[in-house]
Amino acid sequence: MATTVANPQDVTTTAPGTLVDNNSQANVTNDNLPRPTVQQVAQTNAGLSSLLSQNAVRQAMPGIIVFLTVALFLLAYSWIQEPPYKAVYPGMSEADRQLAFTELTSADFRAQIDSSTGELKVPSDRYHEARLLLASRGLPQGAASGGIISLSDDSAITTSQFMEQVRYTAAIENELARSISQINSIQSARVHLASPKESVFVRNRTPAKASVVVTPFPGRIVSSSQVQAIVHMVSSSVPYLSAEGVSVVDNRGKLLTDTPQFSSMQLNGEQMAHKIQMEDNLRNRIDSILSPVVGIGNVRSEVDIQIDFTETESTFEDYDGNNAGPLARSEILNIEQKPIGGEASGIPGAASNTSPIASGEGGQSTTNTTSSQTTRNYEMDREIRYVRNTGAKVEKISVAVVINANARTSSVTDETDSSDAGFSQEELDRFSNLIKGVVGFDEERGDNIEMVAIAFDEPEMLEEAIIPWYSNNQILNIIKIIFGSIIFIVFLFFVVRPAIKNYSNLSGNAGTWAGKDGELTAAEISRLNSGDSSSIQDIKAKLKPKRSGLTADMLDTANTYDDKVALVRLLVAEDSGRVANVLKKMIRP
């Protein structure tokens, strides 16, 4: 099928399956495209063209372009000002993440949850501030999941005794780890229990063992008292588990519990802390007494104290310590008296019952026998004393003090000879005497004090670390703003300004050529309807004041066929694009 337009100069022949573009006069084949797609594209283009060709749209187009430009600029500016986000604590539990999000939101932090990883993120410029805030709130707590409640999960009648024991042990481990994590200096903990199978025989019973791995918060340490608390808590929670069977290790692999093989070779935590505390105390006292004399920062002192932590226990038993002699504790006295010749004798019977014959003057007299026995028990004065020495006995104190010789040099004026600068031996001896009084010097104990005056090396001023410009966030933000401003200005001058100018010219021409909505006035329509215009020149003269588009009613009111052809030719000459769109609609299958 071929179509010919009314204008002879713009004759275009179209074949089936082609579209016509009057501006470029190029044919685009659509043999490979389905028919509904071509129709939809053509309808969309036609509708968009008709919409943009309306006078009201053309008049409003500059404002629309300005509005879209401003919106685009604001969107780009907000994107430039949006700071990068950084995860606060990667790997937090869900409970800690919820608490941390609530705390950060209440503190006016623009916290957000990453949709891909689920991590809690804050702006990188407030990253350290957010970590300090969460640390002050005791977050993250790092509570372990599971526990006794998890025993009810996946439980069935067919569960074996071995699986029940494993689940029970795992639940106890989780509960202990959760309890250990409640200590304020511990971030997380893991507990491993080695519980052997119980035996009915006591002699065959194997004690249980346990190991604990603790991870303290950054910047914190686990004290010895906390380690002992962990050991006793774990040993009290597991049957047949003694405190000696619990080992505590930190995240760096350091053994925190004292074992018997190491306790005899080195000091334990409390003894070492006591030694360091005494040394720090003496060091501070030395610095405080010498700093006002030589100046702050001009004294360096070190103290070493040898302490004997051996515990001794003695028992003393003393007899007659006061030299008072023995003392009688008890005395027993026995006295017996027996008469001589007074005993009965003879044959039993009547003869023996007769009274004895009284003795005459020359006879023997009657006497008694007396015996006595005395038993005395003596007790010596005895004293028993129990003496126990708890240790921590100072055996020796060694002190080394260095004084900055330049401290005297800096105070020397121009009038004073610089050769007299420094400290004399007499002054150093006086300083030594002061230190002896401060540390409790004992010569018999073997204490030693060394003092010298040496010029200190002046520390070099550290140069400020130069951050590369591509790593400086402030410079990158400024570059983003400048680059965005340049793009916005280029967009205004080369896109927005020509578009506004083009639509302004079209609106002005449309207003010049036509009246409201591109139509002729009533007077011009009446002139066309009058029958006195019979030539093309007259029709052109009538339409010359306003070069407006013609409607179908105007063509119907033309007198002759030649007048209608002249009107169509005039319309094609003035607005060829509109005529081409009409022809496209006409030839559309």
pLDDT tens readout for residues 315-330: 877 766 666 666 666 7
Contact 259, 246 (CB under 8 A): no
Greatest mean pLDDT among 116-125, 292-301, 419-428 lies in 292-301
CATH assignment, 283-310+390-412+421-454: 3.30.300
Q: Enumerate the CATH 3.30.300.30 domain ranges in the chain, comma separated.
A: 160-266
Read off the tokens for 473. 């966030």
Q: Which residue type sits at 481?
A: I
- In this predicted model, what pLDDT tens digit does every residue of 96-132 receive, in sequence order? 888 889 889 888 888 888 877 888 888 887 888 888 8
Return the pLDDT at 24: 40
Is residue 12 predicted with pLDDT exceeding 90?
A: no
Q: Enumerate the CATH 3.30.70.1530 domain ranges in the chain, comma separated.
A: 85-136
Beta-carbon contacts of 421 under 8 Å, excluding residues fewer than 6 positions away, are 405, 408, 409, 412
Is residue 8 predicted with pLDDT exceeding 80?
A: no
Q: Please state the three-class secondary structure of 299-330 as a single string.
A: EEEEEEEEEECCCEEEEEEEECCCCCCCEEEE
Of 127 and 200, the structure prediction assigns the larger pLDDT to 127
Strands 85-87 and 18-20 come out as unpaired
Strands 112-113 and 209-216 come out as unpaired
When pLDDT is cut at 50, 70 and 90, the band that residue 547 belongs to is very low
Return the pLDDT at 230: 94
Q: Provide mean pLDDT across the span 137-162.
A: 62
Read off the tokens for 70. 């401003």
Kindly report whether the global pTM for this prediction surpasses the value 0.75. Answer: no
Return the pLDDT at 191: 93
CA angle 294, 300, 301 (to 5 degrees): 115
Secondary structure (DSSP) of 9-69: GG-----TTEEE-TTT--EEE-TTS-HHHHHHHHHHHHHHHHHHTSHHHHHHHHHHHHHHH
Is residue 425 predicted with pLDDT exceeding 80?
A: yes
Return the pLDDT at 507: 53
Return the pLDDT at 147: 52
Mean pLDDT of the chain: 73
Burial letters for 19-40: b for 16+ Cβ neighbours within 10 Å, e otherwise?
A: bbebeeeeeeeeeeeeeeeeee
Greatest mean pLDDT among 108-122, 451-465, 491-505 lies in 108-122
Read off the tokens for 174. 């989780």
Read off the tokens for 461. 């001023």
Instruction: Give residue for tokens 């869900």.
Output: 94
Return the pLDDT at 155: 61
Q: Give the least confident one: 65-79, 258-272, 283-297, 538-552.
A: 538-552
Return the pLDDT at 15: 41
Strands 299-308 and 393-404 come out as antiparallel
CB atoms within 10 A of CB 137: 15
Read off the tokens for 62. 């500059």
Return the pLDDT at 11: 39
Is residue 289 predicted with pLDDT exceeding 80?
A: yes
Alpha-carbon distance of 314 to 195, in angstroms, equals 42
85-136 homologous superfamily: Hypothetical protein rpa1041 (3.30.70.1530)
Strands 367-379 and 382-389 come out as unpaired
Q: Thinking of the domain 160-266, which architecture would CATH place it in?
A: 2-Layer Sandwich (3.30)
Return the pLDDT at 211: 94
Q: Provide mean pLDDT across the span 34-57.
A: 66
Is residue 36 predicted with pLDDT exceeding 70?
A: no
